[in-house]
Structure 1
Amino acid sequence: MATVTRENIGLLNDKITVKVSQEDYLPNFDKAVKQFSKSANIPGFRKGMVPAGMVKKMHGQALFADEVLRTVEKELTGYLQNEKLDIFAQPISLDKESLPLDFNKPDEYAFNFEVGLKPAFEVSPLEAGKTVMTRYKVKATDAEVDEEVKRLQIKGGKMTEPEAIDNEDNVLNVEFEESDAQGNVIEGGIKKDNSLLLKYFSSSIQEQLKGKKAGDTIVFQLATSFDTERLNWILKDLGFEENDQAAAQKYFKLTITKVGLIEQRELNEEFFKEIYPNEELTTEAAFRAKLKEEIEKYWDTESRNRLHNDLFEVLVHETPMELPKGFLTRWLQTGGEKPKTAEEAEKEYPNFDHQLRWTLISDKLIRENKLEVSFEELRESAKQKLMGYYGAGAALDGADWLDSYLDRLMQDEKFVDQTYREMVTQKLFDWAETKVDLKEEEITAEEFAKLPHKHHHHEH
């Protein structure tokens, strides 16, 4: 008769021993031999007429091992279910070497496994009065609105071809040729066409370029001609790595092949209608007010994302929880598609630990607070995404093809599962917001961008 015993070997780490005797596996072994003899194709014997002795001689050891292991797995699974053990992943075998299973000498066998137990914990950061957080309110400035107006005027403008460079918004079609400091082109060096705005260059290079026409050239060094962000962009375009200090010291001869300038759109009703087709905007003041509203709506979304990210960090790092690190590290070594070394598992563990804590916390909060997403909510979310993707908004609502497309989309398990996870996680954060003390703080976009991210570095 099979027996299963359990003993504690560490924090949330138990050893389970499964013992099986002949009476547990031999009947099934005999059945397996008979079944195999009915279906085996062995030269010299008719199908279904292979003697059991021949099957045992040729395949007995493999069939025997399969039945012993199948019996052990059945007993282990039954024990875990009956005891209602809430474990991580799968049990890990503690037997370093395979047991000497011999079908000619059936015996009692003991198999040892270790399991990691999920911890009991309370999400203390959400207890009343425990956590104070800040929701930032970003107000759009007149300068930001001016910048957006100009961007849209340029985006919708018409390209002209002035004779010479005279404006920081000039579009320059240029050819880069690697050279020495005197402008002598290096044979076999880099040669690349590009298109840049004059204002992308440093102020000194801009001064050199002003007044130049198509066909004119200058010589410049990369490192002294662009700010850090533009320099990295140019380096990558020329085939180098970002922050390649040696490449940044190279000189290039720049030949202007074409000078362009976008004629900005006039601020009138026709332009306003192109930008906001569903709005009745007749004045520049109304247009600017709408832009300000859109900018602040964008920052509201960014602020909410930041708050939710801060909530995530607080919940993960300030919820007291013990984890069986030893077991989980060993599981990381053996549980994936490809085995890992102890060093690789140790290196991966911090990120794994971080995500595992969030999974345990979010699952608990979703379950205990009955946070759910209905099929109708899933479908509506998918519809809004589609209408946003096609950019037609309400104009698409009710279209026959849209409904049939949605029907097919809602049969895609991967899409439905991903959408469900996104939506239920959003509901979780919305709910968690109501459980902390929120204070609102008004700041500028520049100040918001400089805020440090809430991230904990302490060990658990």
Structure 2
Amino acid sequence: MAVSIKQTSDVAAVITVQVSAADYQPQVDKALKNYQKNASIPGFRKGHAPLGLIKKQVGTSVKVEEINRAVVSALFGYIDEEKLQILGNPLPVEDAEEYDFATEENFEFSYDVALAPKIEAKLEKKDKLTYYRIVATKEMEDEQIKRMLENAGKQIEADTVEDNDVVYGRALELADGQPKEGGIEAAQALILPRFTKSEAEKAKLIGAKLGDTITFEPFALYDGQAPEIASLLQIEKEAVPALDGVAFSYQITKISRREAAELNDAFFTEAFGEGSDIRSEEALRKNIQESFAEQFATESDFKFTRDLRALLLKKAGKIAYDEALLKRIFLARNAEAKVEDLDRDMPQIIDDITFDRIKGQLLEAAGVQISDEDLNKFALIVAKNQFAMYGMTSVPDELLENYAQSMLKDGRTKENLIDRVADSKLAAIAKEAITVTEKEVSPEEFNKLMSEDTKA
């Protein structure tokens, strides 16, 4: 088997694989004999059909399969042996010669390959970037403490309705101010004032006392939203439109309220455990600040990596690619991709390829590799941050570990995490190689910076 390469440009080449019968026939004969052993053909005992009959039935398809196997092995073996750096996978050349595999023995297959261009982009001390460290505001600390105290609180029964209460009552459909005969009646109608849609209707509830009876319009209270109204009155959603403008009486039978815990030893023990050092508001705020800092570090690193990417792309300058070939490669890899979308997105795709090449070169030059330990640690950070988004800052380690491992089991998510770990390692290299100025910003200021980046 002969393999040769012809470079058609600095960034493209054609690799040709020449195949003769000697390269594949032994494998074909072996495959046919294995097929014969297991073949069940009418008129013959299993495994005793004549080899000639087997060849007639499946000979050509087996031949094609073995030729393809030999060609692919030779093609990628050549790429590895010659240490060719290519983008994507080789593609059969357009208008390739067609063969009659049943009768011909010698074949020649040619493949277009996109060669990775040489890119020069070094990090130097004269390069300057800012690292934006996000600092939580006191208002954020206060809100987090409030949330933690509410979560650690208990349900109590109240006498007067407030916005965050859960109100239970008996709802009766009215006609001319009186209970309607055969009308709708819900003995356990539940209302959460903070989730209602009409301020005017909600005002009838707020301040009402246990045992009071108010008159309201459920349709207006929830702005005609059928699921909420049907749930309140325990009716079918199809019956809701007819209730537009219909009044109901509502006798309040119970007011349930979440009473926040107090900031005391009992709270600290419940939230952090008996042996925890957190036993004061000052220590709690410090813990919250540390949690926010850990959560925000990922965002700060993302911003820094994005700025670093822009710096490296600028230093690399304009890089030539065989864009027509790259489009063919992308279309072959994704059958749903559209040419017009590729035309629109090509500048971004080119930048992505260039940055990935630079990143790979810099990591390789620094001898950096991504281990399973690196990946597991980063997955735990991502898991912890996702729980923190919902105010869950004291998640058990076992739950975090299980969630992290579930992310790593998803192929696409794992690839994304590997890429982000590579970015973080590149950022660490850059912080040593260039001049970095650290600046503290509030979350609001940081979001403004990110918004400006998006517009740029």
Q: Is the 8 A contact 2:13 2:114 kept in 1?
A: yes
- CA drift of 1:308 comes to 1.5
Q: Is the 8 A contact 1:4 1:75 kept in 2?
A: no
In the alignment, structure 1 residue 5 sits paired with structure 2 residue 5: yes
Partner of 1:433: 431
- CA drift of 1:356 comes to 4.6
In the alignment, structure 1 residue 368 sits paired with structure 2 residue 356: no
In the alignment, structure 1 residue 290 sits paired with structure 2 residue 286: no
In the alignment, structure 1 residue 262 sits paired with structure 2 residue 258: yes
- CA drift of 1:114 comes to 1.0
Partner of 2:387: none
The residue type equivalent to 1:370 in the other structure is: G
Q: Deviations over 1:349-379 (max 9, x none)?
A: 6776666555434433332222346677778
Q: Is the 8 A contact 2:36 2:49 kept in 1?
A: yes
Q: CA, structure 1 residues 90+274, in 2 after alignment: closer, same or farther (shift >3 Å)? A: same
The residue type equivalent to 2:307 in the other structure is: V
Alignment of 1:145-184 (within 5 A): 145-165=141-161, 167-172=162-167
Partner of 1:310: 303
Q: CA, structure 1 residues 117+293, in 2 after alignment: closer, same or farther (shift >3 Å)? A: same
The residue type equivalent to 1:326 in the other structure is: A
Q: Is the 8 A contact 1:90 1:115 kept in 2?
A: yes
SS of the equivalent of 1:90 reads strand
Partner of 1:243: none
The residue type equivalent to 1:296 in the other structure is: Q
Q: CA, structure 1 residues 217+32, in 2 after alignment: closer, same or farther (shift >3 Å)? A: same
Q: Deviations over 1:251-307 (max 9, x none)?
A: 89785754333334334333333334344566xxx31x2233233223323442222
- 1-side partners of 2:287 and 2:422: how far apart? 27
SS of the equivalent of 2:367 reads coil
Partner of 1:17: 16
Q: Is the 8 A contact 1:2 1:21 kept in 2?
A: no
- 1-side partners of 2:201 and 2:5: how far apart? 79
- 2-side partners of 1:50 and 1:77: how far apart? 37
Gaps of 5+ in 1: 240-246, 397-401
- 1-side partners of 2:195 and 2:40: how far apart? 80
Stretch deviating more after TM superposition (258-267 or 419-428): 419-428
Partner of 2:93: 94
Q: Is the 8 A contact 1:176 1:252 kept in 2?
A: no
Partner of 2:111: 113
- 2-side partners of 1:163 and 1:108: how far apart? 93
Q: CA, structure 1 residues 430+290, in 2 after alignment: closer, same or farther (shift >3 Å)? A: farther
Partner of 2:79: 80
Partner of 1:272: 268
- CA drift of 1:235 comes to 9.2
Q: CA, structure 1 residues 91+457, in 2 after alignment: closer, same or farther (shift >3 Å)? A: farther
- 2-side partners of 1:77 and 1:268: how far apart? 67
Q: Is the 8 A contact 2:17 2:109 kept in 1?
A: yes
Partner of 1:136: 133
- CA drift of 1:117 comes to 1.8
In the alignment, structure 1 residue 62 sits paired with structure 2 residue 61: yes
Partner of 2:208: 212
Q: CA, structure 1 residues 330+432, in 2 after alignment: closer, same or farther (shift >3 Å)? A: same
Q: Deviations over 1:108-138 (max 9, x none)?
A: 43322111222322445x4323232232342
The residue type equivalent to 1:295 in the other structure is: I
- CA drift of 1:197 comes to 4.9
Q: CA, structure 1 residues 197+449, in 2 after alignment: closer, same or farther (shift >3 Å)? A: farther
- 1-side partners of 2:266 and 2:68: how far apart? 77
Q: Is the 8 A contact 2:204 2:214 kept in 1?
A: no
The residue type equivalent to 2:291 in the other structure is: Y
The residue type equivalent to 1:332 in the other structure is: F
SS of the equivalent of 2:437 reads strand
Q: CA, structure 1 residues 193+58, in 2 after alignment: closer, same or farther (shift >3 Å)? A: same
Q: Deviations over 1:409-460 (max 9, x none)?
A: 99x99599959936565444333334443333344444445443464678xx
Q: CA, structure 1 residues 32+111, in 2 after alignment: closer, same or farther (shift >3 Å)? A: same
- 2-side partners of 1:315 and 1:381: how far apart? 20
Gaps of 5+ in 2: 231-240, 385-391
| Percent of aligned pairs sharing the same letter | 23
Alignment of 1:354-433 (within 5 A): 356-357=353-354, 359-372=356-369, 391=395, 414=409, 418=414, 421=418, 426-433=424-431
- CA drift of 1:79 comes to 2.5
- CA drift of 1:80 comes to 1.7
How many residue pairs get aligned? The number is 412
- 1-side partners of 2:259 and 2:32: how far apart? 86
TM-score by length of 2: 0.67
Across the aligned residues of Structure 1 and Structure 2, the Cα RMSD in angstroms comes to: 5.2
Stretch deviating more after TM superposition (362-371 or 196-205): 196-205
- 1-side partners of 2:127 and 2:61: how far apart? 60
Q: Is the 8 A contact 1:171 1:261 kept in 2?
A: yes
Q: CA, structure 1 residues 434+49, in 2 after alignment: closer, same or farther (shift >3 Å)? A: same
- CA drift of 1:332 comes to 2.5
Q: CA, structure 1 residues 15+377, in 2 after alignment: closer, same or farther (shift >3 Å)? A: closer
Q: Is the 8 A contact 1:94 1:114 kept in 2?
A: yes
Q: CA, structure 1 residues 87+38, in 2 after alignment: closer, same or farther (shift >3 Å)? A: same
The residue type equivalent to 1:150 in the other structure is: K
